[in-house]
Amino acid sequence: MITRRSFLKACLATPLLAATPSLTLATTTNPFVLKAAKASKRLVPGDEYQDATVWAFNGSVPGPELRFKKGDTISLDFINELEEGSSIHWHGIRNINAMDGVAGLTQPEVMPNGQFRYEFPLNDSGTYWYHSHAKTWSQVARGLYGPLIVEDESDPLVDHDIVLMIDDWLLANDGTIDEASFGSLHDWAHGGRLGNWLTVNGESHPTIEVQKNSRIRIRLINAANARIFGLNIPATAFLIAEDGYPVPVQPSQDVVLAPAQRADFIVDLAEDDITINEVSNNGPYPAVTLKVVELKTPLVPKDVLKQPTLESPPQSIDVAIPLHMQGGAMGNLREASFKGQMHPIRELAQTYKKAWAFNGTISDHHDHLAKIERGQVVSIEVWNDTRWRHAMHLHGHHFWIQTEDGTFLDGKRDTYLFERGEKANLVFVADNPGLWLFHCHMLEHHAAGMAAVIEIS
């Protein structure tokens, strides 16, 4: 396996200038085309490594940066040039249900050589992303993801608005994707598919030039299958948003991002370069360097960052949905219901590759946690009764997080990382009708049983 020493050696020997390909879409009259197809990409720099065969949107990993204004409408034709079915989910967007992109639930898979038009309004500003939602544990790990940014007139003025998509890849010694490891029951029952190679915007320790004394916005997105990143920003940084939703402006140099989570920072630069390090996985590992340079462009005024007005949590709950999560390695689940029949956990794992249960049931798109009337206030009362952390994601809505002592965390999220044994309530207003998936965004956990549907009439 690739070692930390070889990683650092490659990063130091090959400084790279990397930025996500950028596209601005602001019209519905000429739909943009987004193609999924195989492509070649050098993930590990150095002549001793080979190009990896990745799956990419429009030939790049990440896919094109889609940047809109709040109130715009996306009109996009997805063309599938892969050898298996696929779809696109617009993560964090409070979407029209038919446009949510969950293959087998909100739409059929787009089959090879097939096409599907996604068209929906963007009613919320923030940092979002798009990714495959068919066989996600494989397709996302191969590179099918990209950033989706929705700007607002009230956004802070900045000199640089930088998107950083962070991923880990499980690679063989020659730098190609480790194909034999896909579908590993060990991964599905433990922490998920964890990689051995870190990239930012598809590159190894890229260097991005920024202007001296400028104000920058950093948008961090965790695109990994299962890796939880701890990131350190060694400068005066202010956290302004999580999962696209504003939070009280607060000094912060550290952030923990579970798979699918995002965090936005404002950083005022001086003359020193900034290296963002990954610090929670036997690091530090250098992830990306912002190199300060002299540029001729004028700087924006560094106004005092305004505190946002946050929506208050509801005072009462109409519907409570108990959710007891069990299973996984070293868990306490002895048997569970699967497709209407009880099975021992060993049989579920060995025969069906299922390892996790909600309320004693191995869940999937056909399992409904609850049927909710539109407009009701819902609390998903989650108990993570497992030995593993889980990044729980609700489609189509943002939720408040109520801790076990009854207090609410600041702001709203669409993905929340549950610690081992943690109990917390995810509270939301069911104002978006349709069939909405609730699942663990450790994508192997999702595949192995941690997914169910909330139906809103």
Query: Which 8-state DSSP code applies to residue 163?
Result: E
Secondary structure E strands in 294-376 = 319-327, 335-338, 341-344, 356-358, 368-372
Which one, of 439, 433, 453, 350, lies nearest residue 97 by Cα?
433
What Cα–Cα distance (Å) separates residue 422 from each residue in 179, 385, 428?
Answer: 34, 7, 19
Answer whether 362's CB lies under 8 Å from 356's CB: yes
Write down the pLDDT at residue 141. 98
Answer whether 18's CB lies under 8 Å from 64's CB: no
Look at residue 15 and tell me whether its pLDDT is greater than 50.
no
Write down the pLDDT at residue 2. 42
Mean pLDDT of 284-295: 94
Write down the pLDDT at residue 366. 76
Q: How many Å apart are CA 330 and CA 387, to the nearest integer?
A: 7
Q: Other C-beta atoms within 10 Å of 184: how many?
A: 16
Q: How many Å apart are CA 336 and CA 447, to the nearest integer?
A: 16
**pTM confidence score:** 0.94
Write down the pLDDT at residue 30. 64
61-117 residue pLDDT tens: 999 999 999 999 999 999 999 999 999 999 999 999 999 999 999 999 999 999 999
Six-digit token pair at 262?
């995002």
Answer whether 325's CB lies under 8 Å from 450's CB: yes
Write down the pLDDT at residue 283. 78
375-395 residue pLDDT tens: 999 999 999 999 999 999 999
Look at residue 224 and tell me whether its pLDDT is greater than 50.
yes
Look at residue 14 and tell me whether its pLDDT is greater than 80.
no
Q: How many Å apart are CA 210 and CA 140, to the nearest integer?
A: 30
Look at residue 28 and tell me whether its pLDDT is greater than 70.
no
Q: Regarding beta strands 451-456 and 390-394, do their DSSP bridges make them parallel or antiparallel, or are they unpaired?
A: unpaired
Six-digit token pair at 8?
């650092």
Look at residue 9 and tell me whether its pLDDT is greater than 70.
no
- Kindly provide the b/e burial profile for residues 11-33, where b requires at least 16 CB atoms within 10 angstroms of the residue's own CB: beeeebebebbeeebeeeeebbe
Query: Which 8-state DSSP code applies to residue 171?
Result: B
Q: Other C-beta atoms within 10 Å of 140: how many?
A: 24
168-210 residue pLDDT tens: 999 999 999 999 999 999 999 999 999 999 999 999 999 999 9
Give the least confident one: 7-16, 87-96, 368-377: 7-16
Task: Tell me the residue length of the chain.
Answer: 457
Look at residue 18 and tell me whether its pLDDT is greater than 70.
no
Six-digit token pair at 276?
């963002």
pLDDT band at residue 8 under the 50/70/90 scheme? very low
Answer whether 60's CB lies under 8 Å from 115's CB: no
319-456 and 4-293 share a CATH fold: yes
Look at residue 7 and tell me whether its pLDDT is greater than 70.
no
Q: What is the helix (H) or strand (E) element at residue 154, kind and residue range?
A: none
Domain extent listing, the chain: 4-293, 319-456
What Cα–Cα distance (Å) separates residue 187 from each residue in 38, 69, 355, 401?
Answer: 25, 39, 10, 28
Give the least confident one: 25-39, 194-208, 249-263: 25-39
Q: Where are the alpha helices (DSSP H) in 302-452?
A: 345-352, 443-447
Write down the pLDDT at residue 13. 37
CATH number, span 4-293 = 2.60.40.420
Mean pLDDT of 224-235: 94
CATH number for 319-456: choose from 2.60.40.420, 3.30.1490.20, 2.60.120.650, 3.20.20.70: 2.60.40.420
